[in-house]
Structures are given as C-alpha cells and as structure tokens.
Structure 1
Amino acid sequence: MISQNTISQVFETARVEEVIGDFVQLKKAGSNFKGLSPFSDERTPSFMVSPVKQIWKDFSTGKGGNAVTFLMEHEHFTYPEAIKYLAKKYNIEVEETQRTDEEKAKADARESLYLVSEYANTYFQKILHKTDQGQAIGLSYFKERGFTEETIKKFQLGYALDEWQAFTDDALKNGYSIEFLEKTGLTIVKEEKRFDRFKGRVMFPIHSMSGRILGFGGRILGNDKKAAKYLNSPESDIYHKSKILYGLYFAKQAIAKEDNCYLVEGYTDVIQFYQTGITNVVSSSGTALTPEQIRLINRLTNNITVLFDGDAAGIRASIRGIDLILEQGMNVKVCTFPDGEDPDSFAKSNTLEEISNYLSENAKDFIQFKASLLVKESDNDPIKKAETIREIVNSISKIPDQIKREVYIQECARIMDISEEVLFSTLAQIHKKDVQEANKKYKQEQKAFEVVRNEDQVKEKVNVQYELERKIIEILMLYGDRTEQFEDLVLKEDEVSGDLIMEPTIHETRVFEKIYLDLQEDEMMFSNERFREMYYSIIDKLNQENEFSTKDFINQLDQDSASTITSILMEDEKYNLHDWHRNNIIPKEKQHTISQLVSQTILSLRCYLIDQKVAEYKEDTLREQSNSRAILEDVKDYVGLKMLLSRKLGKVIGGYATK
C-alpha cells in the first residue's frame, strides 16, 4: 500500500497540463489548453485541460478527471501505478508497506504481464553488463554499432544468453508464473518442454508512451539462416505492435517541441539518430505503418518526415504508408539517403550539423517526391506516365482539407506538365467512386443490422430537475466559498393601500449557505442519488474549511464521481474550442452575476417542484374521482406560491438583463 503522505505529495506537486502534455500536444486556448483527443480519431480539437481547476475533459468521448484519472484511462494504469508514475516524474520518494504473498497473488492478469516484462528487461540488462557472454557478444555488438555506454543504458538494451532455458529458469526461481511467461511470449511452452523465445539475441525493450515495458525485439547475432534476423514479442494483452511506435517514450517531448517527427524503419535507426542529437525520431519497428501508429504521432505534432534508405525496392514498398498519413490530415515530407546508406549508417558517419543540414535540404514534399520517383519508373512511356499521374492524384484524394488538395493538384500539374482541369476531373471521379463505395457499404451495414423504428416515438424530454441539480453542484464547486450580496423579496402590507407588496431586502452571505438554507426551507431533496451524495460532501467541506480547493476535493473522489464532477465543471469550456473571441463574440462571464445565478437556479427548482406537486394532486383527484376540499385548498396554496416565486424569478432574470 502507498502511504497517504506520498499520495498527498503527488497530488500537490503534479500539474495536469504537464502530465497530459507528455502524451498530447496542447495549445493555449484562453486560460486553458486544447488538443486532439487521445481517446478517439478526430481532426478538430475537442480535448480541454484546465490548469486553474487541474482537470481535463474530452468532449468527444465524455471522459474527464484529474492527472491520475488521465493515466488510468490512457495508460490503463491501476490507481497505485498512476501514483507511482507521477511520483517518479516529480522525483517524489514512494513510501509503501511491503506487499504480502497474498496481495501479490491478487494482482490482476494484466499487471502480472507488466511485472514479468519489467523483470525480463532488468534480467536482460544484467546479462549484458554483468556476464562474460553478455559482454563478449552482446555489449561488443552494440559498441561496434557505435552506441555509447550512456545510450545503451538509456534505451535499456540487453542480451539473452545463448542457452535454451536460462531466462525461464531464472524467472521461475524468482517466483514468476509460467502462465504469464508464456502469455508475454518470453517463454515458449510445448507439451512438457519450456524454452526461451529470445535465445542468443541482443534485446531491444519496447516501451509504452509512459515508459512501461510492453514487449521486446531481439536480433540474432549468429549465422543461423533458418532463424529470423529480428524476432518480436507475440501479441498479448499489453503488446499490440500495430498500436506502438518504438522510441516514442524517449521522443515525445522533442516531437512536441520541434513540431515534427522523423519516422524511420528500425530500432538501430532510432537509437543512432537519438545519440547523434536528433531526438524527435520513432520507428514502426519493421511493420507496415498503421493508422493507430500515425494517430499516436498526431497527438504530438501535425508534421511527419519519413526517412527512407537508398534501396529503391524498399522505398516503393514503404511509400504506401504516405497515403495513410495523408488520410489523417497530416503534413508529410520524405527524405531519402544516398545509395547504400540508411538512417543508422548515415547518422553514424556524420555530425549533428551535417545530418540536420542534409535533412533540411533533401526533405521533399510528398508530391514532389512521389512524382520524381514515379516519373523515373515511367521512363517516357505514355501509358506508364498516365498511370503515374493517376497514382499521384489518388494520393491527393486522401487529403481531407480541400484547400490543400487544390494546391497539390496545381503542383502536380506543374511537375507532370498536364492541365489542372484534367487532374481536377480525375480527382472528382475518384471521389465519386469513393462516395459510391461508402454508400454501398453503409447500405449493406444497415441491411445487416436493420432496426425497426417506431415512427411515433416521442423525442425524449429534457430532465429539468436533473439539469437544475447539476447546476447547483456546479455553482457550489465554482463559487460555494464566495461571499455575495443576495436580494430577497419579502411580502409586506403597504401602509397606505393595505395591499400586499414585495419589498426587496439585501443581505450578505456565503453562496453555499444561501443554497443550503433555501433548500432546507422547502425541505427540497435531490432526486439524483449521485448528486445528492456530492451535494452533502461539498456542503460538509465548505462548512469545515476556510478555503475550498476544487482540485483537492476532486482528488479525494472515486474515478466515476471525479469524472462526473469534471464533466460539470468543464461543460462551459467547450465553447473555447471555437475561438469566439477571434470573431468578436464575447461570452458572458458567469462570475459577474453569481448572486442572480444562484437565485435563478433555486427559484427555478422550487417552481418546477411545485408544478410536479400540483400535477400529483390533480392525478390523485382524477384517480379517486373525488372533489376533496383539502386537496383543492392545497392546490390553491401551491398555485399562489408558484405565482409569488414566478414574480421573484422574473425579477431575478430581469436583473440579468440590466447587467
């Protein structure tokens, strides 16, 4: 168990914008930050972070919370894991009691996979640095590649002994279950035999965006032609190679800072570039680029530079990934190295300045690169040239932005010496075909999942009481501890005419006291159970503490309640996503009319509840077919009260208009 002192230190120190900024590119939006949702596929930002409230809200999925809940949602951490991650980030010493064997046994399967992977990573590093075989074979190989001791340790490179069961035996001896050794793919089990997957290989651990070990890549050093040169961990509950980029954990901050990501092919390409000083570099680890991998980069930057070696066949095979990048609405450039060179060898033999200059001078816009590549292949053959042009236009059709598409069409027309009209016509044909195929697919899906719709279905009404109770929670969280002047209207008899009049009286009190006393006066109870619990918790906090901290209150809630509170507090922030100020539309600031807001909300709730009560009396009368004088008197009293409250409400709303 982690001590409460450590947890308190973490919550006091951690900044939500800094934590999320490690995973999502955030841009200033007024007093908040905005970015692309890390939980959905989107091109327009709907993800908001509030440094003042220390909370975040994803309007595309409805998720929200604090720094801890973000890590739990994004990295699938348990609560203790999230606390430990933040403690490590902010150099806070974790105080915890030793876990018993029983507590270890209760760890869920997913966590067990992480623990086994972390253990394997430590083991492979120990073998590399502490054993004769590791130093003579593994360490020698890395140093021959030009990796320094510092680089080897930073990327946590290791070595697996060239023995059939060395790792498996050591893991079992240290209490790790064969079940999870097999599920991570570190151990292969066949009938009664168990042996190491990565026997005799140098090891490249694959990290998540937060630094957890997900799997491994192993390179063989012998001359066994039957064995694959590179071997990756198999898919597991924690390792999905199509959703992971090698080196992203080390590169994420540099990518956001440089607003560009270099994409290479292999592990050593990443490490060599990083060692040279170009740290905004990642790799798809030899697999074909996937939309999920591109979206990981898109959270940090909108710009990708794809680096290819001089192998023409490799370029032709990899160029298909460019269309995927374009589909995600990203800007893509391509840079190739001289024949016989790849990013690894080029970085090894050049200085940082030389590499930077080369990339700057040779990185081409994708349209120029693809055109020059395909023109060479067409070799003045008119038919091949026509196919080349169509292929380039097909790539342009993937771009979601219409202005970009038009600019690229103009560029293609210039390079290929063909009229823009023909290219626009071809583009229109491609789009028409895409639309037809999309409609066909949609109709097939609709047919497969046909749903009988009730034409008479009535649109669900807004739950007025729910919205008003939600508003009360919001007011208490934002302004509960503030002192305001409230105007109450008191019925008095006019001394001259004898008529009843409403006379205003002004009194000063704290917002939460005003709300509590007004609700108590009418014995009003929250209908929503979660809101009711939150209401009493907030009132209790405000009663006990001189200064109410929204951040501290949220940090003490469970994940569901924290998410609910965050949704309430961030509801108005979504309007900042639309840059209204740029269009001279200035939203009214709520804090200028807090007293009116409180009075309007309470009076609206009271009026609504009176309407509900009158409706109940009417139903009782009709059901019992009676004309009870007592019921009629009650109804009359409620109607009179409703009229009085409506007059008060009208006065309050009128107060808004005069502001």
Structure 2
Amino acid sequence: MIKKSSLEQLKTTIDIVDVLSNYVEFRKSGANFKACCPFHGEATASFTVSPSKQIYHCFGCGVGGDAIKFIQDYSKLTFQEAVEKIASDTNFTLEYEDGNFERKDYATIFEVTNKLYEDNLKDEKLQYLLDRGLTLESIKKFELGYAPRSDKQIAHLRDQNISFEDCVDIGILAIDKDKLYARQIERITFPIRNHLNKLIGFGGRTLKNSKDIAKYINSPETKLYSKSKVFYGFNHAKEHIFKKGNIIVVEGNLDVIMMHQANLNTAVATMGTALTKEHIIQIKKANARAILCFDGDIAGKKAAYNASILLSQSEIDGGVVIFDDGVDPADMVKNDRTDELYALIKKPINLVKYALNYIASNYDLTNPIHKTKVLKECVEYLKTLNPIIANEYKGYLAELLNIATYHIVLGQGSFQNEMQSLRSPDITKADEKFIKTLIEKPDFMDYLFTHLDYRALDNKYFKAVFENENEDILRPLIVRDDIIIYNKEDFLLACKLKQKYYLESELKKLSISIDDDVFAKMDNLRAKINNL
C-alpha cells in the first residue's frame, strides 16, 4: 500500500496540465486550458482544466476531478494503479507501507536486455551500420544493438533471475503454443524510449534479404508502449525541439539517427504508424513548427497529406518536404549532401498548400467536371480549419484552379461565445458571480448574511458553498475563468439588490394571498424595500 505521505508529495509534485496533456489536446483559454472531452463525443470544447485549482471539469457530461481521477477513468485503472502510472510517467519514486505488495521492475528487465543487445553488436553487424554511414558516436548515443538467437536471450534472462512472465508482459518474450521465444531475433535493435527517457520497447531491422521476413518489427502494444503515442528519438530531440521551436518528422529510425548526426537534432519518427492525435498533443505542448520529411512514393505522399490535414486542423504551423528518386534523409547525409538537405528543410511546402496541391493532383484540372470536384473537396477541407486561416488560402486555391475567388464560398460562421455554452441552465449569471466570489473570498460570507435573508439563497449552489461540500456541483464554477468576482463595495451593493428582488417577489406572492394579516405583511415588506 502506498504511504499517505508519499501520495501527498506526489500530488504536490505533479501538474494536472502536464499529466492530462499526454491524453488530451489542449488550448489556452484565459487562465485555464480547454479541450474536447475525451469521455464523450463533442464538437465544441467543453472540457476545462484549471491549473490554479489542479482540477478538471467537463461542462458537457459533468465528469471532473484531479489528475489521479482522470487517469483512473481514462485508462480504466484502480486508484493505486493510476497513482503508480503517474509516478512512473513523471519519474517519481513512491514509498510503500510494509507488506506483501510487489512492484514489477520492468525498467531493470529492459536495461538488462538492452545491454545484451549492445554487447552483441559486433563484427559484420556493426560493419553494416558503419557502411550505412553511421558513426560510432551515433551508434552509442542511440544505443543500437543486435538481438542474438532466441535461446541465447532466454538463457541470459534466466541467468539474471528475471521473470519470464514479466518479459512477456512488456513484449520482450512471447508464447506460441506453449513455446517461449524472443520477439527480436537476429536483428539490429533500436531501443525505444519515451519522453521521460524510459525504455519501453524495441524496434528491430533484419539483415536478411528475404521476402518471407519482415524488414522492420517493433515491440507489441503493452501497458508501457503504445506506438500511436511515441516518437522514436524524442528523448534525444526534446530539448532541441523546445529550444528551436521546430520538430522534423521522418519515416525511419535510421533517418532520425543520421539527421541527428548532421546536427538536425529535432528529428523524430513515428513508430510505423501515421501521425496521430496523440502525436499532435506532444507537438502542441512543445509549441513547435512541424516539418514533414517523407518519401516521394505514393504511400509517402499520401502519409504527408494525411499528416498535413491533421496538423493544419490543429492550428500547427509547418510544411512538407518530399524526397523523390528513391532518396531519403539518411542517404543524403551519408552522401555528403547535407547542404541540400538543410536547404529543403528551410523551405518546405506550406501544410495547407500541400494538402490543396495533393487534392488537385488526383484530378485532371483541364476537365471542368474534375475541377468542380477539386473545388468541392478543397472547400470541405478548408471549412475544417480556423476561419481566419482558411480565408488566407482562398486566393491560393483560386490561382491553383484558375478560377475567380468569388467561386470559393467557405460559409463559416463567426466564433460563438464559448463560455455562454458552458453555463448551467439552472443558475443565473448573477448567482454565478455571487457563488464564484464566495468561493474565492469566503470572508465575504459575513457581509452576505448581514444584508440578505437566507431564504433568498435557496438553491443547491449556495447550499454547497455554505455547507462546504458537494464539489461536483461547484466544480463547473471553480474552473471557469470568465466569471469576474465582486470587490467588497460591489458585493455589498449586489447583496442589497438581491434582497430587494427577493422581497419584491415575496410581496407579489402576498398580493394574491387570502391570509387575514396579508396587508400588515405587505406593509412590512414595503418598508423593508424602501429602506434598501
């Protein structure tokens, strides 16, 4: 069981925005951050995170809590599992009470395996990498190795007293029909580390030239490794990405290593998958400009198009570099063409322009019917962008299709008042301001009851404030930063006005009453109103 003191220390160490940004794509909104809720489908962002309060709340479905609660719900974990995941991701060492609880030391297994692979990189295996243009410094920096036969790996793990069950859990070993075997066999190995530099998997490239053997394989999806969330080389590139404000996304591990070797040290690669929303989150968190460097074959151009769409819709600046004639970045570095590579990366094709060009390239623009289809497809794409950005490319599209700009109708409305959509239907703006003020300035409670009848505050929100409970009700108001709280003078005036409205409503009720003393009561209320 985790020690309470250790848990409290973890809570004070972590930042909810940092934790949640690995799962949700945020944008700044005043003092808070906003996103589309990951727990229910929505088009308008209603998921709000308050860094000052260290809580989140969705105004759409009502979920909310702290960072630990988010990980519990998002990853379907127990409280302890969620705490351990956050601790692992943030490199925080938890302390446990005495007992029989056992933590699995996956990090040691990975490092022992990686050391075995590194020690086996020699002779013709090492020469293969040198012949590809890699230096010994790069090989050491990226910890490249060679996976020997399966039986040798299993024997080595057994000698190190490592659990085979744990090895299966993290994808180093596998079982097929009761037979245990190593996943990476007789391959050059590329250790995969996450953004915290923790080893979470391996990539492998065979040296055999056979159609029956996959050239590249990566670790399977595990509790530690998810290929859609990882950039190869990000652990080495991270510092440079934040410093330089750009990220270069390439297609292969060797491309990454060779580009770093050429001092293009913001290069990373996806793990055999297309660019994903999880990758976008990392790029946005770094506030980086994205340069896509893809092969000039059909698959490469299509991948660049899909990535351009995703990046531009996420309002990320950047461009595309396409390598023709079967050349890739690794080849250019090896063949001393780094100056050409630098020049290409400095002047990429703009993301939106590339996407429009790609759409147009699939049609015959001399055919009016085809041109109409291109226009429709391009307009549909532009409509998915921020209206200001989209309008900037109307002229470019008109020139591309050789048509007048008035033919390009985006039909995008103005931005709506987002905060208005976040208001609860059962509370007035005035009460929102009252309650927010009492939350932020609890000492104003004395002024409230000096000037206001308690019955004027008869709703669940005021009750939650007075009784200091039911956080779920108050959380939507706590996280909102569009509510301006009262100063003392205005608060006193607002209390008097609220009391006046309350008394007037009571007077109206009495006007249709048949009580014997109704007139005396009405006179009493009128006197109170006049005093206000």
Please show how residues 454-603 of structure 1 align to structure 2 within 5 Å: 477-480=439-442, 485=447, 488=450, 566-570=475-479, 572-573=480-481, 575=482, 588-592=484-488, 593-594=490-491
* Percent identity for Structure 1 against Structure 2: 23
Alignment partner for residue 353 of structure 2, among 344, 367, 376? Answer: 367
Give 1:341 shift. Answer: 2.9
Q: How far apart are the structure 1 equivalents of 2:186 and 2:132?
A: 18
Indicate conservation of the 8 Å contact 2:47/2:58, yes or no.
yes
Indicate conservation of the 8 Å contact 2:365/2:371, yes or no.
no
Please show how residues 25-174 of structure 1 align to structure 2 within 5 Å: 29-30=29-30, 32-37=31-36, 39=38, 46=46, 48-59=48-59, 62-69=62-69, 78-81=81-84, 84-85=87-88, 88=91, 95-96=95-96, 100=100, 103-104=101-102, 116=106, 118-129=107-118, 131=119, 133-136=120-123, 158-164=145-151, 166-167=153-154, 170=157, 174=161
Q: Which residue in 1 is equivalent to 2:395?
A: 410
SS across alignment from 2:212: coil
Give 1:337 shift. Answer: 3.5
Would the alpha carbon gap of residues 423 and 600 (structure 1) be closer, same or farther in structure 2, given more than 3 Å must change? closer
Give 1:229 shift. Answer: 0.7
SS across alignment from 1:226: coil
Tell me which structure has the larger Cα radius of gyration. 1
Deviations 1:312-354 (A, max 9, x none): 4444443552574278354552112464431233356669887
Give 1:195 shift. Answer: 1.1
Deviations 1:382-421 (A, max 9, x none): 56x97588557634532224565555453244245x2237
- Residue 325 in structure 1 maps to residue 310 in structure 2: yes
Alignment partner for residue 270 of structure 2, among 257, 272, 284? Answer: 284
Letter in 2 for 1:127: L
Would the alpha carbon gap of residues 96 and 295 (structure 1) be closer, same or farther in structure 2, given more than 3 Å must change? closer
Q: How far apart are the structure 2 equivalents of 1:250 and 1:289?
A: 19
Give 1:219 shift. Answer: 1.5
Deviations 1:107-164 (A, max 9, x none): 7xxxx7xx65x455323322134x3x24557666666656677766765655432234
Would the alpha carbon gap of residues 340 and 648 (structure 1) be closer, same or farther in structure 2, given more than 3 Å must change? farther
Indicate conservation of the 8 Å contact 1:475/1:598, yes or no.
no
Give the superposed CA RMSD.
5.8
TM-score w.r.t. the length of structure 1 is 0.57
Q: Which residue in 1 is equivalent to 2:404?
A: 420
SS across alignment from 1:590: coil
SS across alignment from 2:347: helix
Deviations 1:272-330 (A, max 9, x none): 43454445444333334456655664565585432123x44444443552574278354
Q: How far apart are the structure 2 equivalents of 1:535 and 1:226?
A: 72
Would the alpha carbon gap of residues 196 and 47 (structure 1) be closer, same or farther in structure 2, given more than 3 Å must change? same
Indicate conservation of the 8 Å contact 1:202/1:218, yes or no.
yes
Would the alpha carbon gap of residues 139 and 649 (structure 1) be closer, same or farther in structure 2, given more than 3 Å must change? farther
Runs of at least 5 residues in structure 2 that lack an aligned partner in the other structure:
413-423, 506-512
Please show how residues 265-344 of structure 1 align to structure 2 within 5 Å: 265-274=251-260, 276-289=262-275, 293-294=279-280, 297=283, 304-309=290-295, 311-322=296-307, 324-325=309-310, 328=313, 330=315, 333-337=319-323, 339-344=325-330
Q: How far apart are the structure 2 equivalents of 1:176 and 1:651?
A: 83
Would the alpha carbon gap of residues 602 and 190 (structure 1) be closer, same or farther in structure 2, given more than 3 Å must change? farther
Indicate conservation of the 8 Å contact 1:203/1:218, yes or no.
yes
Indicate conservation of the 8 Å contact 1:22/1:252, yes or no.
no
Would the alpha carbon gap of residues 473 and 260 (structure 1) be closer, same or farther in structure 2, given more than 3 Å must change? same
Q: How far apart are the structure 2 equivalents of 1:17 and 1:50?
A: 8
Letter in 2 for 1:125: N
Would the alpha carbon gap of residues 381 and 482 (structure 1) be closer, same or farther in structure 2, given more than 3 Å must change? closer
Indicate conservation of the 8 Å contact 2:437/2:486, yes or no.
no
Give 1:193 shift. Answer: 1.7
Indicate conservation of the 8 Å contact 2:262/2:338, yes or no.
yes
Q: Which residue in 2 is equivalent to 1:617?
A: none
Aligned residues: 509
Indicate conservation of the 8 Å contact 2:169/2:222, yes or no.
yes
Deviations 1:517-570 (A, max 9, x none): x79xxxx99989xx87x976x59xxxxxxxxxxxxxxxxxxxxx8776643411
Indicate conservation of the 8 Å contact 1:168/1:195, yes or no.
no
Would the alpha carbon gap of residues 486 and 324 (structure 1) be closer, same or farther in structure 2, given more than 3 Å must change? closer
Would the alpha carbon gap of residues 158 and 372 (structure 1) be closer, same or farther in structure 2, given more than 3 Å must change? same
Q: How far apart are the structure 1 equivalents of 2:471 and 2:393?
A: 47
